Amino acid sequence: MGNIDIFEMIASSYDTSERTEIAKLAANAIRERLVNATTKDAIDFGCGTGLVGMYLLNDFQSVLFLDASQNMVKQIQQKITEFDIQNASTLCVDIENESTKNLQVDCIFMAQVLLHIENTEFVLSKLYEMLKADGHLFIVDFDKNGNIASDMVHNGFEQKRLAELLAKIGYNNIQSKTFYYGEKIFMAQDASMFILDCKK
């Protein structure tokens, strides 16, 4: 998993209408959970071409678009330049293999990212370190789906088990709910999406 090489290849053609619609749904689910976020700095973790974070730019003081794929970061950087966005920046870093000690933010959100990460506990622990005290992590992803079998991605997550893992790392105030069900939205299978909100 990780699939960085694949994302490098598809970056320039990533923004399909289907992905854009899913990104809107994810952004709206995150927005509903935000409190006084306009004074806070956020990271769009595993941002891809920035589809979700672009919808949330006005909800935060600043957004750092972070991804391990250089070509994905180039795509979002082009958008930032083209639209003269003042409160956004980009960073290409693989947090599984590179230091992120200098990064400290109030909020991290990730949409359809965790399913690509093999060592979920390690990455979620690194994100915990990147959050300021009382900072929030928002995860949008697919519920566990028995119809999907892949070596490339997890077949979704059980919200209860994910919450248990986050609690083990140190997160608290963990809340989650399924907020959307769609046809053929996860590897051509019908699937549901959840949002999880937790705090450092």
Q: What is the pLDDT of residue 5?
A: 60
CATH code given to domain 4-199: 3.40.50.150
Buried-state track 88-99, b at ≥16 Cβ within 10 A, e below 16: bebebeebeeee
- Banded model confidence at residue 164, pLDDT cuts 50, 70, 90: very high
Q: How far is CA 108 from the centre of its chain?
A: 8
- Domain residue spans in the chain? 4-199
| Confidence (pLDDT) at 1 | 46
The alpha carbon dihedral of 39, 57, 8, 181 has a sign of positive
pTM confidence score: 0.90
